[in-house]
């Protein structure tokens, strides 16, 4: 077996600052904990630490040292939610993902070849976690606890972060600090008082004495890390549906800045869909402006998709065209219905499916910017009258329109047909439109419609004017043989 462990340092800080803007690095930020009357600093970002703020410092003292200081109350539920989302995202690489106290571990021996080896897989995991708005350290070992210890050690010290052979575990773990085991504070104080600060110090002591003084848990954790005892784990269960919510540390009114947390949520959704082997036809983005004002944006696709970049393009088209009524303070992304997903085979030459996919992508982007009702398909209708020879599927814009064989396919028809025929002036009986029209082809007699109360009796001609415009005109025999313009040829 081979495990990769993912460790999230300063989990409380990362869970609150996920998706924050880049200038947050220049703002002193602390996460507070403790009773409301006397809160203390639980974690501080790099800018706050450079100003002398340390963990366990009273918040009042930190505010006196640095002004202004952004203080956010710690939420254990938000930290747990971040760990669950991380485990769900990692499930796209293997079904065996287990949650850790500040990260997750995944067994990858069965899927290692699928992702191109340990180096390629580790790089893909590291890049993907960064796209989620998180920072992580990785460790590799034959057992999960050793991998997690190596991941934590790689964050606090330089050295070995990988061990692929069980027989080398003790040598690789000898210099690991015991503080990385997350044992109780009283146990750590006693070990430190005895001069036992590293794994090799503990291994040099009699096991019976350590068990008698510190209990069974200490020796069990040590055996699990060294691979001397079985360490059964409960795998993470991927949820049935996707929904993720994030609160913003700053109010955002500019759409471009909002795309940072939106892209983070879309990458999270893509990992969830890959873990489920599914895709979505529609997503819903809810923007929260204040306690009472919320706006909802729905986005759809003709084909099942799970690529975050494609959905981001659709969202960008919509949000850049519609200004926000107020600043955004929180957002939620959800996928109400999952559908089956099938990968397209790559081809040297573009196939009809690929060309159709590009066309549908363009339609979806236009619909996202202008609205679904502004984009619709047109189908043929079995009628000789030009104004009734087509119909729109405005209410069914994403469905393929049923085609009807036209009864005048062999006749010329203009690309642009006017909504209503336009009456033309005549001089000495010759129709005028930017000059005298010269008849090029025709006539084509259309006389029909007596059964529905909209009869026509027309002779259609193809004509050209001095500006070289090719027009479609007709003479109406029901209204004094007047001339009318009905369309333009390209």
Pick from 18-32, 80-94, 440-454 the range whose average pLDDT is largest. 80-94
Question: What pLDDT, on a 0 to 100 scale, did the predictor assign at position 42?
Answer: 92
Two structure tokens written together for 226: 């060294």
The CATH class for the domain spanning 1-238 reads alpha beta
Q: Over the stretch 258-278, which tens digit does the pLDDT of each residue have?
A: 898 999 999 999 999 999 999
Residue 421 near residue 433, CB atoms below 8 Å = no
292 compared with 138, residue with greater pLDDT: 138
What are the boundaries of each domain within the chain? 1-238, 242-344, 410-488
Residue 164: pLDDT band by 50, 70, 90 thresholds? confident
pTM score, whole prediction: 0.73
Strand, coil or helix: what is 396? helix
Give me the mean pLDDT over the 123-150 stretch.
Answer: 93
> SS3 sequence, 169-199?
HHHHHCCCEHHHHCCCHHHHHHHHHCCCCEH
Between 57 and 442, the more confident residue is 57
Give the span between the Cα atoms of 381 and 403, in whole angstroms.
8
SS3 of 73, please?
A: strand
The DSSP-derived string for 203-250 is HTS-HHHHHHHH-HHHHHHHHHHHTSS----PPPPPPSSEEEEEEEEE
Ranges of H-type helices in 55-116: 59-65, 76-90
Superfamily holding 242-344: DNA polymerase, Y-family, little finger domain (3.30.1490.100)
CB atoms within 10 A of CB 324: 16
Would you give the DSSP letter of residue 18?
T
Distance of CA 79 to the CA centre of its chain: 21
191 pLDDT higher than 70? yes
What is the mean predicted confidence (pLDDT) over 84-112?
A: 94
Range 244-249 average pLDDT: 88
Q: Which of 221-225, 312-316, 369-373, 398-402 has the lowest mean pLDDT?
A: 398-402
How many angstroms separate the CA atoms of 29 and 207, rounded? 44
Between strands 390-392 and 482-488, the pairing is unpaired
**CB within 8 A of 126, min separation 6: which ones?**
136, 138
3-class SS at 426?
strand
Is the model's pLDDT at 311 over the cut of 70? yes
Length of the chain: 490
**Taking Cα atoms as reference points, which of 32, 82, 73 lies closest to residue 53?**
32
Mean of pLDDT over the chain: 85
State the pLDDT at residue 411. Answer: 73
Q: For every residue of 319-372, which 3-state class applies, written as one string?
A: HHHCCCCCCEEEEEEEECCCEECCCCCCCCCCCHHHHHHHHHHHHHHHHHHHCH
What's the confidence (pLDDT) of residue 92? 95
Q: Are 299 and 317 in contact (CB under 8 A)?
A: no
pLDDT of residue 16 exceeding 70, the answer is yes
Residue 349 has pLDDT above 80, yes or no: no
Report whether pLDDT(81) > 80. Answer: yes
Closest C-alpha to 95, from 82, 105, 106, 84:
106
């Amino acid at each position: 077996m081979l495990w990769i462990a993912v460790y999230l340092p300063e989990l409380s800080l990362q869970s609150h600052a996920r998706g924050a803007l880049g200038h947050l690095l220049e703002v002193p930020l602390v996460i507070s904990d403790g009773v409301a009357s006397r809160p203390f600093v639980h974690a501080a970002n790099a800018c706050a630490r450079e100003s002398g703020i340390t963990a366990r410092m009273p918040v009042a003292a930190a505010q006196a040292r640095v002004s202004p200081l952004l203080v956010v109350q710690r939420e254990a539920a938000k930290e747990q939610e971040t760990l669950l989302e991380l485990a769900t995202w990692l499930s796209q690489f293997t079904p065996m993902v287990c949650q850790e106290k500040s990260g997750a571990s995944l067994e990858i021996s069965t899927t290692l070849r699928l992702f191109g080896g340990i180096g390629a897989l580790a790089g893909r995991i590291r890049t993907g976690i960064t796209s989620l708005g998180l920072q992580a350290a990785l460790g590799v070992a034959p057992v999960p606890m050793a991998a997690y210890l190596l991941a934590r050690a790689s964050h606090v010290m330089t050295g070995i972060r990988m061990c692929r052979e069980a027989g080398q575990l003790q040598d690789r773990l000898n210099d690991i600090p015991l503080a990385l085991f997350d044992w109780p504070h009283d146990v750590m104080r006693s070990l430190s008082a005895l001069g036992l600060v590293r794994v090799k110090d503990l291994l040099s002591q009699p096991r019976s004495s350590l068990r008698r003084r510190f209990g069974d848990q200490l020796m069990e954790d040590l055996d699990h890390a060294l691979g001397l005892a079985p360490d059964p784990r409960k795998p993470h269960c991927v949820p049935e549906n996707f929904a993720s919510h994030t609160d913003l540390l700053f109010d955002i009114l500019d759409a471009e800045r909002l795309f940072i947390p939106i892209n983070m949520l879309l990458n999270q959704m893509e990992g969830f869909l890959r873990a489920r082997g599914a895709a979505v036809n529609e997503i819903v983005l809810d923007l929260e402006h204040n306690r009472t004002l919320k706006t909802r944006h729905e986005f759809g696709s003709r084909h099942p998709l799970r690529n975050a970049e494609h959905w981001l393009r659709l969202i960008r088209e919509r949000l850049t065209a519609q200004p926000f009524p107020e600043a955004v303070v929180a957002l939620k992304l959800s996928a109400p219905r999952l559908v089956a997903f099938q990968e397209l085979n790559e081809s040297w030459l573009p196939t009809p499916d690929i060309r159709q996919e590009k066309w549908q992508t363009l339609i979806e982007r236009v619909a996202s910017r202008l609205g679904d009702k502004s984009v619709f398909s047109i189908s043929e209708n079995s009628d000789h009258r030009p104004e009734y020879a087509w119909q729109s599927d405005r209410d069914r814009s994403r469905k393929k329109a049923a085609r009807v064989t036209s009864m005048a396919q062999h006749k010329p028809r203009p690309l642009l047909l006017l909504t209503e025929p336009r009456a033309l002036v005549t001089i000495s009986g010759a129709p005028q439109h930017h000059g005298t029209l010269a008849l090029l082809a025709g006539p084509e007699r259309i006389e029909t419609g007596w059964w529905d109360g909209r009869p026509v009796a027309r002779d259609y001609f193809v004509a050209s004017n001095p500006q070289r415009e090719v027009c479609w005109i007709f003479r109406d025999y029901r209204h004094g043989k007047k001339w009318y313009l009905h369309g333009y040829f390209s």
